[in-house]
């Protein structure tokens, strides 16, 4: 019915509790700052941005990326019902039952590309029940990746980049990981930094950041 269609959100997802969103943003800023000061990163800076460099050859990555509103991990993008499978997803029992429920998201890594900066979310078995089975295949139909490989929190996008890009970038990391590429750059105290071809960087955390988050729909 029209009423049902009207009730479909822009997307479903887990929304971080405010305090934990601030904490994650702080960790993200620290990650970008550390990255921007690294010699190996600076050597390939032109692959990352054409922005003006500082006197030390560094770039302000915090300015390169703009934040995108309230921090969340999208499960299903519905586009108010226009997206494939939106209605079926909204009607699933597990989706209806989970509305308003709080869960703890496990953040296992931060990543940055010229397009996006984000946090990788390692979903639990229970959280995976809310994950659309085709989320990965939709972007990478020819690569066999574990369910949930696309799960992330967008922390920022470069100018002109669409929100959907962060998950696409994370799947590219996952594909490269599966192929066994990626070079260890160095230990950074809170984790180990890897580079995947000079313009893709990932900090794998030695301890997950835990972020309580509430499952809900976002109506814009
Ligand atoms: P993300 O989950 O990476 O942050 P927008 O602001 O562009 O309308 O997007 C709203 C939210 O839905 C954002 O969180 C965005 O990306 C996500 N999103 C946008 N388009 C898609 C899509 N085609 N598939 C999955 N998620 C999407």
**Which pairing describes strands 72-77 and 116-121: parallel, antiparallel, or unpaired?**
unpaired
Choose, from 20, 44, 64, 152, the residue flagged as catalytic: 152
- What Å distances lie between residue 152 and 6, 42, 95, 160, 186, CA to CA? 27, 26, 19, 20, 23
How many beta carbons lie within 10 A of that of residue 80, not counting itself? 15
Helix (H/G/I), strand (E/B), else coil: 97? helix
For residue 189, the model assigns a pLDDT of 87
Instruction: Give the confidence band of 49 by pLDDT, cuts at 50, 70, 90.
Output: confident
CB 202 within 8 A of CB 183: no
| Structure ipTM | 0.96
Residues 125-181 pLDDT 10s = 999 999 999 999 999 999 999 999 999 999 999 999 998 999 999 999 999 999 999
**Which pairing describes strands 65-66 and 191-195: parallel, antiparallel, or unpaired?**
unpaired
Instruction: Give the confidence band of 1 by pLDDT, cuts at 50, 70, 90.
Output: low
Pocket-testing residue among 12, 21, 77, ligand 1, by greatest number of atoms within 8 A of Cβ: 77
Structure token pair of residue 174: 């996952």
Q: To which residue do tokens 């994370």 refer?
A: 170
The residue whose CA has the least distance to atom 15 of ligand 1 is 163
Work out the mean pLDDT of the chain and round it to a whole number: 94
156 lines ligand 1 (CB under 6 A): no
For CA atoms 126, 127, 128, 129, give the dihedral sign: positive
How many beta carbons lie within 10 A of that of residue 62, not counting itself? 15
Structure token pair of residue 43: 């050597």
Ligand 1 nearest-atom number relative to CA 162: 7
Instruction: Give the confidence band of 6 by pLDDT, cuts at 50, 70, 90.
Output: low
| CA–CA gap between residue 17 and residue 75 (Å, rounded) | 17
| CA–CA gap between residue 20 and residue 25 (Å, rounded) | 8
| CA–CA gap between residue 199 and residue 142 (Å, rounded) | 23
Between the CA of 70 and the centroid of ligand 1 the distance, in Å, is: 12
Any idea which of 57-61, 85-89, 198-202, 210-214 has the lowest mean pLDDT?
Answer: 57-61
> What percent of the chain lies above the pLDDT cut of 70?
97
Q: To which residue do tokens 């105290």 refer?
A: 189
Between the CA of 185 and the centroid of ligand 1 the distance, in Å, is: 31
191 lines ligand 1 (CB under 6 A): no
């Amino acid at each position: 019915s029209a009423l049902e269609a009207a009730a479909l959100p822009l997307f479903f997802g887990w929304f971080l509790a405010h305090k934990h969103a601030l904490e994650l943003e702080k960790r993200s800023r620290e990650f970008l700052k550390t990255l921007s000061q690294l010699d190996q990163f600076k050597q390939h800076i032109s692959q990352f941005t054409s922005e003006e460099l500082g006197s030390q050859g560094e770039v302000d990555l915090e300015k390169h990326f703009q934040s995108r509103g309230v921090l969340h991990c999208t499960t299903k993008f519905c586009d108010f019902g226009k997206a494939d499978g939106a209605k079926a997803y909204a009607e699933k029992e597990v989706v209806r039952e989970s509305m308003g429920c709080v869960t703890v998201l496990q953040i296992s890594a931060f990543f940055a590309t010229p397009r996006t900066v984000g946090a990788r979310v390692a979903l639990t078995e229970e959280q995976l029940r809310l994950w659309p089975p085709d989320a990965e295949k939709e972007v990478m139909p020819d690569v066999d990746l574990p369910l949930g490989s696309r799960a992330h929190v967008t922390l920022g996008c470069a100018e002109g980049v669409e929100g959907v890009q962060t998950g696409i970038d994370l799947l590219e990391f996952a594909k490269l990981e599966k192929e066994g590429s990626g070079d260890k750059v160095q230990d950074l105290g809170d984790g180990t930094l890897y580079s995947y071809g000079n313009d893709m960087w990932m900090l794998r955390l030695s301890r997950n950041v835990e972020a309580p988050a509430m499952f809900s729909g976002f109506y814009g």
